[in-house]
Amino acid sequence: MLSGRKLHLQAPAKINLYLKVLGRRHDGYHELSTWMQKLTLADEITLSSVSMGIKLQCPGSDLAADESNLVHKAAVLFFKKTGLKIGVEIELVKNIPIAAGLGGGSSDAAAVLTGLNTLFSAGLSDKELMELGLSLGADVPFFVSGCSAAIATGVGEKLAKIDSLNECWFVLVNPGFPVSTKWVFENFDRAQTVNFTLTSGDNPYILGREINDSIPEKLFNDLESVTAARYPEVSKIKKELTDLGASSVLMSGSGPTVFGIFMDFGLATQCAIYLQHAYTGMVFLTEPLSSS
């Protein structure tokens, strides 16, 4: 009797305004301290209830629409957890670049978990959904949460909500190739130049309190040096954004996407239009997602 229901969802991208690697755990995961901000740039997902099975479609994307897709894995986990004997058709329209440091796959998985919970009135708590999400990826709990911005610690699952940024715009530039998060962390470990400490001046909780007044100048990403050493396009894009008027620039997550922060919409628009000629289809003018 639940067959025939439909739900349309937005799965937002994120950027990391601060990312500090604090150490590697015995299970291979890394302890992090990071400031994450959701964006209005988003993938589009439609869930349609059917009598049985999980069917995934990714029109216009090279993304695999099979059991290896994080969205499919999220649906499998949901039905296993709830025991519901019904199926779903999932249409995923990708607007966020893949393997870009913007959390697209994690956001898609989170949207499917929360969306299925709503579609089928399954009654899973936020805590249960976040636990399911963590088994899929460290960023998934942030996207499951109602936080538009948060300080994340642990492997990314411990969240402290902070105010969303406002009255600023981001120009995101992706050089047009994916970067493996696993590769970045492996090479980060090999570098053995890590200072696994967090000083009070580096503390993102302190940085987070500055956002009501202005964008803090001290944005930081421990992973940027690793990705930029292999892909010089990262440093090139940073310089271009700075030359075009960005007040701050940084690589997001494990990269390779770089963002520039603009306090003036007109200047941000001019920058995005100019860079679109060099990075066709990979330049995005977006803004912070408002706090919910």
Mean pLDDT taken over the chain: 90
pLDDT greater than 70 at residue 196? no
Confidence band for 211, pLDDT divided at 50, 70 and 90:
very low
E strands, 2-122, are: 6-24, 30-50, 54-57, 87-93
pLDDT greater than 90 at residue 141? yes
Per-residue pLDDT, 45: 99
Confidence band for 155, pLDDT divided at 50, 70 and 90:
confident
- Nearest alpha carbon to residue 112 among 83, 79, 156, 138: 79
pLDDT greater than 80 at residue 273? yes
Confidence band for 28, pLDDT divided at 50, 70 and 90:
confident
Q: Answer for the pair 171, 272: CB distance below 8 angstroms, yes or no.
A: yes
The answer to which of 66-75, 180-189, 255-264 has the lowest mean pLDDT is: 180-189
**DSSP SS3 for 236:** helix
CATH code assigned to 6-161: 3.30.230.10
Paired with 88 in beta bridges are: 49, 54
- Spatial separation of the C-alpha atoms in residues 90 and 92, rounded to whole Å: 6
**DSSP SS3 for 215:** coil
Per-residue pLDDT, 292: 53
Please identify every residue annotated as catalytic. Answer: 14, 139
- Domain positions in the chain are 6-161, 169-286
CATH code assigned to 169-286: 3.30.70.890
Residue type, 229: A
pTM, entire model: 0.91
pLDDT greater than 80 at residue 38? yes
- Nearest alpha carbon to residue 170 among 99, 247, 76: 247
Q: Which residues contact 261 (CB under 8 A, 6 or more apart)?
A: 168, 169, 170, 215, 246, 247, 248, 249
More confident residue, 219 or 128: 128
pLDDT greater than 70 at residue 83? yes
DSSP letter for each residue of 137-203 = -TTHHHHHSS-SEEEEEETTTEEEE-PPP-S-EEEEE--SS---HHHHHHHHHHH--------GGG-
The answer to which of 130-139, 202-211, 227-236, 273-282 has the lowest mean pLDDT is: 202-211
Confidence band for 212, pLDDT divided at 50, 70 and 90:
very low
